[in-house]
Amino acid sequence: AQSVAQPEDQVNVAEGNPLTVKCTYSVSGNPYLFWYVQYPNRGLQFLLKYITGDNLVKGSYGFEAEFNKSQTSFHLKKPSALVSDSALYFCAVRDGSARQLTFGSGTQLTVLP
Amino acid sequence: DAGVTQSPTHLIKTRGQQVTLRCSPKSGHDTVSWYQQALGQGPQFIFQYYEEEERQRGNFPDRFSGHQFPNYSSELNVNALLLGDSALYLCASSFRNTIYFGEGSWLTVV
């Protein structure tokens, strides 16, 4: 079985400050990890993925994520937050043999001006 | 290059009715998956289609069925609608571990 935990329902950060959205996962094999963002009344927008290789993955809009195998974590980060980053963020995982993505419950990010 | 396109964007149905949702995958993508996202929750996997066959199914009843056409487009059918089927239905297309979602179809069952 595979699962994802996003321990924070809500993250608030001031504009210009660094942001982190946390994600931990559980899979039986090698993890394939993803971050998506969802704006109100919209679909999911792909930000980045980790399949293999460097532990630091760079994605769209200045976001990056760090894969930590020992801590089974894949936290999303951005050095300087923008008000327009305010949205709902989902972490997702699958192992190499699974077909489906398993999503976390989402974290609402609010960037305060 | 068009992304994943879904139709209709919004629809309202009555309990007991049937609904068909449609999806065209991103160009070059041969695998289509469907997800249900209830309000305030993360998406839940319904099923995946590849080469016109259902390849894997999540924990959804048989009322949920699908189809994939030779051009890789797909349909999701839901029979005997329940109030609890009200949700955003997301289509995802994938090719070699890159997975993209459409804007979704908002279904309201009254």
Q: Is the pLDDT of residue A96 over 80?
A: no
More confident residue, A110 or A2: A110
Q: Model confidence over B55-79: pLDDT tens digits?
A: 999 999 999 999 999 999 999 999 9
pLDDT, residue B98, reads: 80
For every residue of A38-90, which 3-state class applies, written as one string?
ECCCCCEEEEEEECCCCCEEECHHHCEEEEECCCCEEEEEECCCCHHHCEEEE
Assess contact for B29 and B102: CB atoms under 8 A.
no
CB pairs under 8 A between A and B: 55
Q: Is the pLDDT of residue B1 over 70?
A: no
Q: Is the pLDDT of residue A9 over 60?
A: yes
pLDDT, residue B97, reads: 79
Of A45, A92, A105, which has the smallest distance from its Cβ to B41's Cβ?
Answer: A105
Q: Model confidence over A45-83: pLDDT tens digits?
A: 999 999 988 999 999 999 999 999 999 999 999 999 999
Q: What SS3 class is residue A31?
A: strand
Q: Is the pLDDT of residue B2 over 80?
A: no
Q: Model confidence over B77-95: pLDDT tens digits?
A: 999 999 999 999 999 998 7
Assess contact for B7 and B101: CB atoms under 8 A.
no
Closest residue of chain A to B6, computed from CA coordinates: A43
User: pLDDT over 90 for what percent of chain B?
Assistant: 87
User: pLDDT over 70 for what percent of chain A?
Assistant: 100
Query: From the CA of B37, how many Å to the nearest CA of chain A?
Result: 10
More confident residue, A11 or A100: A11
Distances in Å between the alpha carbon of B81 and those of A15, A22, B10, B12, B45? 44, 36, 16, 11, 18
Assess contact for A77 and A64: CB atoms under 8 A.
yes
Query: From the CA of B9, how many Å to the nearest CA of chain A?
Result: 10
Contact check, Cβ <8 Å, B101/A106: no
pLDDT, residue A36, reads: 97
Q: Is the pLDDT of residue A97 over 80?
A: no
